A and B are shown apart, each in its own frame.
Chain A
Amino acid sequence: MMSTSAITMMTVGCALVWGGLLVCLSIALKIENERVSVPE
């Protein structure tokens, strides 16, 4: 069994990196969509 501290560090590490990546991706997608919907 994995120790609680190891599980915590693994969870926090993955959440920070993958969560950060998802936030950046969603910002990029949101802005791309706004650009498409507003004609120049």
Chain B
Amino acid sequence: MSQDNRDQWISRKGFIFASVGAAIGLGNLWRFPFQAYNNGGGAFLLPYFFALLTAGIPLMILEYGFGSRMRGGAAYSFSRLNRKFEWLGWWQVMIPLLVMMFYSSIVAWSLNYMVFSLDLSWGDNPGKFFGVDFLNVSDSPFNLGGVNWGILGATVIVWFANWFITKNGISGGIEKASRIFTPLLLVLMICFMIRGLTLEGASVGLNYLFRPDFSILLEAKVWVAAYAQVFFSATLGVGVMIAYSSYLPKKSDIVNNAFMTVLANSSFDLIAGITVFSTLGFVAHSMGVDFTEVAKGGPGIAFVAFPQAISQMPFAKSFIGFMFFFCLFIAGLSSSISMLESFCCSALDKFDISRPKLITIVSILGFAGSSLYTTGAGVLILDIVDHFVGNYGIAACGLLEAFILGWFYNAARMRAEVNRYSDFKIGVWWEYCIKFLTPAVLGYMIVRNIIDELARPYGGYPADAVFAFGWTVAIGMVIVAALFMRRPWRNEVPGACPAGGYN
């Protein structure tokens, strides 16, 4: 299929729903609330909004503009800019594929918990049930400890759902699914937020989330945390938004679509924050303990704190539990289809293979990779891989993307292009954000993380485990990206810009 003849979104609404569905994921639920809680409560909203305006929205405009202008996945788009930059496109799309391997196992936990909700299997001790009875966590990342068949079976279902939706293409698969998933997710989360607000003790949790400590705003780490939250939450720097926007019809709006996607994702951040903290307030109140004892971040929020809250609810416990984990399943699925599409979009541009065949091959290989995360060591390996891929892989890809597109593509030219058909125009401030501010913040973030890493191995894991599952995976992706770049294109890639870029 030629680039001009490719599948495209049927409606603007479909594109927005799919992009918002991609951005909203399980991380919104357990990342934003705890970033705010640990970084000044309500005061965190100031750096958060500043980061939204100076990095989240500008980068989203950049990715939408680049994808719709080049009409291809990240690898094709960077290759058109300059052949030397193709590896960056492959590096970007390797990340969601790798993330999807462990992400699908977390979505599989949600499926298992939908069943557990029916008879409240976690009993009186959801923490022990999650870590010991369900995950059977081993003592080391190298001690796999056998496969958990329940998780493995659910992972098959998750990959099958991804395969089924993605193989039908953009308009016939992803758009149709997103038009159901995203509004459903929003309605369900608003219902959970209202339920959370009406629970006894909710105000205690909300006080912890929103009571501002403005003195903390003088610390650089708070601003870095806000930029990291906005950047990771909006699924930037991993080729997803470039792939999705490459299917936009010509003459589509870019600027307003980017604003809507980022603001919808932030709305979900706030809804999730209110839901999580009001529920934690209820748990602390009903257990008669201090709030700080129940406020622990990470996946434990969904799989330990929420089951605890569900058990203590006065009525409809099984129904509420089932719907909550169904909600997590939908949030995870709408993100994972975008991850699969990000890689497959680039691979379809490059190789002479049909979409169903490619999706089938990638799904089988991806599932094989996911099976590692269904073992007793899965959650430990997941933690290390997630840390290294997020803090180094995604951050470095975002930094290079902003730098290359800002300086080589020429930010002024990109601004003129995205303003052409947009509902409203962006000013020169956008160019400064892309060329200077975003690369500077992401660069600072990476250097700071490396310094912390060298001081002590991540998470107290053995150094050899950090090397095997952290550094090896992070660096291995760059090598695999270079290998993909060496393969020939099925069609000659038309040069979009003069040698040396537009400058």
Contact status B263-A24, CB under 8 Å: yes
Give bound CA distance, A8 to B253, whole Å. 35
Are B203 and A16 neighbours in the complex by a CB distance under 8 Å?
Answer: no
**Chain B residues within 8 Å of A1, by CB:** 203
Q: How far is the CA of A3 from the CA of B355 in the complex (A)?
A: 55
Given contacts A21-B263, A24-B263, whether A6 and B41 have CB atoms under 8 Å apart is yes
| Chain A: number of interface residues, binned into ranges | 20 to 34
Interface members, chain A 13-40 (any B CB < 8 Å): 13-14, 16-18, 20-21, 24-25, 27-28, 31-32
CB distance from B203 to the nearest CB of A (A): 5
Task: Pick out which of these stretches binds chain A: B204-212, B356-364, B434-442.
Answer: B204-212
Q: Which of B203, B263, B424 contacts A27 (CB 8 A)?
A: B424
Q: In the complex, what distance in Å separates the CA atom of A32 from the CA atom of B12? A: 10
Q: Decide: A13 and B42 in contact? CB cutoff 8 A.
A: yes
User: Do the beta carbons of A3 and B211 come within 8 Å of each other?
Assistant: yes
User: What is the predominant secondary structure among interface residues of chain B facing chain A?
Assistant: helix
Apart from A17-B267, A21-B260, what 14 extra A-B contacts exist at CB < 8 Å?
A2-B207, A3-B211, A5-B211, A6-B41, A6-B42, A6-B207, A6-B211, A7-B210, A8-B42, A13-B42, A20-B259, A20-B263, A21-B263, A28-B256
Bound Cα distance A31, B253 (Å): 10
Q: A28 contacts which chain B residues (CB < 8 A)?
A: 12, 253, 256, 260, 423
Q: Mark B194-227, 1 if CB is under 8 A from A, else 0.
A: 0000000001001101111000000000000000
A12 to B235: give the CA distance in the assembly, Å: 25
Q: Cβ of B264 < 8 Å from any Cβ of A?
A: yes
> Chain A's interface: helix, strand, loop or mixed, by majority?
helix
Give Cα distance in the complex from A13 to B36, angstroms: 12
Q: Does B189 contact A (CB under 8 A)?
A: no
A27 and B256 contact, Cβ closer than 8 Å, known pairs A3-B211, A6-B207, A12-B45? yes
B269: chain A residues at CB < 8 Å are: 17
Taking the closest CB of chain B, its distance from the CB of A12, in whole angstroms, is 7
A27 to chain B, nearest CB (A): 5
Kindly state whether residue B61 has any CB partner on chain A within 8 Å. no
Chain A min CB distance to B2 (Å): 26
Docked pose: A8 CA to B263 CA in angstroms: 20
Bound state CA distance, A13 and B266, in angstroms?
Answer: 10
Q: For the complex, give the distance between the alpha carbons of A10 and B321 in Å.
A: 27
Can you list, as one digit per residue, whether each of B267-294 has a CB less than 8 Å from chain A (1) or not (0)?
1011000100000000000000000000
Report whether B207 and A3 are in contact in the complex, using a CB–CB cutoff of 8 Å.
yes
Please report the C-alpha to C-alpha distance between residue A12 and residue B219 in the assembled complex, in whole angstroms: 23
B49 CB within 8 Å of chain A: yes
A1 to B256, CA, bound (A): 39
Within 8 A of A (CB), among B22-61: 41-43, 45, 49
Contact across chains for B42 and A16 when beta carbons are under 8 A apart: no
Contact of B45 among A9, A24, A25 (CB under 8 A): A9
Chain A residues with CB below 8 A from B211, complex form? 3, 5-6, 9
Q: B402-428 interface mask toward A, CB cutoff 8 Å, 1 = contact, 0 = none?
A: 000000000000000000000110000
Instruction: Name 9 A/B residue pairs within 8 A (Cβ), A-sorted.
Output: A6-B210, A9-B210, A10-B274, A13-B42, A13-B270, A18-B267, A20-B259, A21-B264, A24-B260
Given that A9-B41, A28-B423 are contacting pairs, would A17 and B266 also be in contact in the complex, using a CB cutoff of 8 Å? yes
List the 6 closest A-B pairs by CB distance, nearest first.
A9-B42, A6-B210, A21-B263, A6-B211, A10-B210, A9-B210
- State whether B260 touches A10 (Cβ < 8 A): no
Contacts of A21 in B (CB 8 A): 260, 263-264, 267
Q: A20-B263, A27-B256, A28-B253 are in contact. Are A14 and B203 (CB under 8 A)?
A: no
Contacts of A27 in B (CB 8 A): 256, 423-424
Residues of B near A2 (CB, < 8 A) are 203, 206-207, 210
Alpha-carbon gap, A32 to B256, bound state (A): 12
**Known contacts A10-B42, A17-B266, A27-B256: does B423 contact A5 (CB below 8 Å)?**
no
Q: How far is the CB of B464 from chain A (nearest CB, A)?
A: 44
A31 with B210, Cβ < 8 A, contacts A6-B42, A10-B42 known = no
CB neighbours (8 Å) of B207 from chain A are 2-3, 6
CB-based contact A5/B256 at 8 Å: no
The complex places the Cα of A13 from the Cα of B263 at a distance, in Å, of: 12
User: A7 vs B256: C-alpha distance in the bound complex, in angstroms?
Assistant: 30
Q: Which residue of B lies closest to A19 (CB)?
A: B263
Q: Which residues in chain B, 363-418, are within 8 Å of chain A measured between CB atoms?
A: none
**Nearest-Cβ distance from residue A37 to partner chain B, whole angstroms:** 16
With a cutoff of 8 Å between Cβ atoms, the chain A residues found around residue B256 in the complex are 24, 27-28
